[in-house]
Amino acid sequence: MNKTPLIVALAIASAFECRVVARTTDACGASADAALRSCNLGAQSDYWLASGKCANLARQSDRRECQRDASAEQQDALAACDEQHDARLAACRRLGGGPYDPEIDPQDFVRVIDNPYSPLRPGTTLIYEGQAADGFERDTFAVTHTTRVIDGVACVEVHDTVTHDDVLIEDTLDWFAQDRDGNVWYFGENAKQLEDGLVVGTEGSWTAGVDGARPGIITRAHPARGDFYRQEFVLGTAEDLGAVVSLTRSVTVPYGSFNACVETEDTSPLDPASVEHKFYAPGVGVVLEVDTDTGERLQLVRVVTE
């Protein structure tokens, strides 16, 4: 067996401790460092599992090729860990060094979500459509009459489904609540990814108050240009961030034309390359989503009310 990949892997493992800088007063930075360590160790674990599979190949040439592939995949994984770490630290610089642990008092929340930029009226369904690289996408965002108590707060349940070329690929339940000041909070989601009608994953699922998950704000009561905030927070699972970039955008989509729209830039350290701009129209909610990398647009085409 070629020992070179083994030596490389050991060298990488010994470098893990050097990747993380101790932070005693910066909770946000310490959290980012801990996530980096976890990510690096995960890459190491995946490498050794792949290496074990390589060892069972009969031909030496196949074993060598397998080991080279495993080493290359590990290097890519470690690079992705570093990119996520950089993105987390960049967010910390904007958020500040304090811990993210919002105090949730059920008495501070109201039953009706009527924020003008995110009105969630039960019985209302918003339908979005757009051409994606892998097919025609339709997103159906249905505000149900169902509520669920999460972290002591009665949340409105939204049933969100995504189809590509009329094939269901995502089926999600989202939970939202509004505080007395008018901020709309996101309390979790039960996300299912499907292939050929079968559930193949639950990536991104989380519930506030469970396993360290904390709710975030989807829409501020009084958005201001420059606002930067967490929309959700479960380290390593759900880390979406929002930034308000404009309060005066004009947008035209199949459903209509709108002025004085709030434009946000949504990002996540889990996928630093992905940047999405959303446009919120007063009295309606999100009317347009734009992927800044691909240029793909998901536009509001219809609103159905009971």
| Angstrom distance (rounded) from CA 67 to CA 225 | 50
Residue 289 CB-half CA count within 13 A: 20
| Domain hosting residue 270, numbered range | 114-305
Domain endpoint, select from 60, 95, 130: 95
- Beta carbons within 10 angstroms of residue 126's beta carbon: 22
Average pLDDT of the segment spanning 159-163: 97
Question: Domain tally for the chain?
Answer: 2
193 assigned to some structural domain = yes
* Residues paired with residue 233 on neighbouring β-strands, in sequence order: 214
104 assigned to some structural domain = no
| pLDDT score at 101 | 95
Mark whether 138 and 283 lie in a shared domain.
yes
Mark whether 179 and 289 lie in a shared domain.
yes
CA distances from 102 to 26, 86, 185, 216 (A): 17, 24, 11, 8
Mark whether 173 and 277 lie in a shared domain.
yes
CA distances from 185 to 153, 180, 182, 230 (A): 10, 11, 9, 10
Split at pLDDT 50, 70, 90, the class of 1 is: very low
Domain endpoint, select from 63, 95, 127: 95
**pLDDT(47) > 70:** yes
Mark whether 282 and 212 lie in a shared domain.
yes
Mark whether 127 and 218 lie in a shared domain.
yes
Q: Are strands 198-201 and 184-195 parallel, antiparallel or unpaired?
A: antiparallel
The pLDDT tens digits for 193-223 are: 999 999 999 999 999 999 999 999 999 999 9
Q: Which of 159, 279, 134 is nearest to 219 (CA)?
A: 279
**pLDDT(20) > 60:** no
118 assigned to some structural domain = yes
| pLDDT score at 19 | 46
Q: What is the CATH number of the domain that holds 136?
A: 2.40.360
36 assigned to some structural domain = yes
Mark whether 68 and 120 lie in a shared domain.
no
| pLDDT score at 11 | 52
CA distances from 281 to 7, 113, 236 (A): 57, 15, 31
Mark whether 67 and 164 lie in a shared domain.
no
Mark whether 136 and 283 lie in a shared domain.
yes
Mark whether 78 and 126 lie in a shared domain.
no
| pLDDT score at 18 | 47
Mark whether 67 and 136 lie in a shared domain.
no
Mark whether 295 and 227 lie in a shared domain.
yes
Mark whether 38 and 80 lie in a shared domain.
yes
